């Protein structure tokens, strides 16, 4: 495993920790890590796994969108209550 793969592994682990702590930053890190894994796997000839990580990338972007949308709605609801 080369240094790039170790870095992507570390990013993935940090993203999991942030996800456990319910931090929105996890989606940014997951997006980076998933795209990196998709590229690594594609270069290694692991096409199915590359496609899987590309799907995970799309899901991380969707998760980021939903989280931000929910936060906006929650903030707007709290502003109305004041």
Of residues 30, 82, 39, the one with CA closest to residue 59: 30
- Alpha-carbon span 32 to 50, nearest angstrom: 14
Residue 32 makes CB contacts below 8 A (sequence gap 6+) with 11
pTM summary value:
0.77
Under 8 Å between Cβ of 53 and 41 = yes
What are the residue boundaries of the structural domains of the chain, listed by start? 3-81
Render pLDDT for 35-78 as a digit per residue (tens, 0 to 9).
999 999 999 999 999 999 999 999 999 989 998 887 776 666 66
Q: Are 32 and 53 in contact (CB under 8 A)?
A: no
Which residue do the tokens 């992507």 mark?
Answer: 8
pLDDT tens track for 36-47? 999 999 999 999
């Amino acid at each position: 495993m080369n240094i790039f793969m170790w870095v992507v592994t570390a990013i993935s682990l940090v993203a999991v920790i942030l996800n456990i702590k319910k931090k929105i930053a996890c989606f940014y890190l997951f997006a980076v890590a998933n795209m990196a894994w998709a590229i690594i796997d594609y270069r290694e000839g692991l096409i199915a796994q590359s496609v899987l990580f590309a799907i995970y990338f799309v899901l991380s972007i969707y998760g980021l969108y939903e989280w931000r949308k929910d936060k906006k709605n929650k903030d707007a609801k709290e502003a109305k209550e004041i």
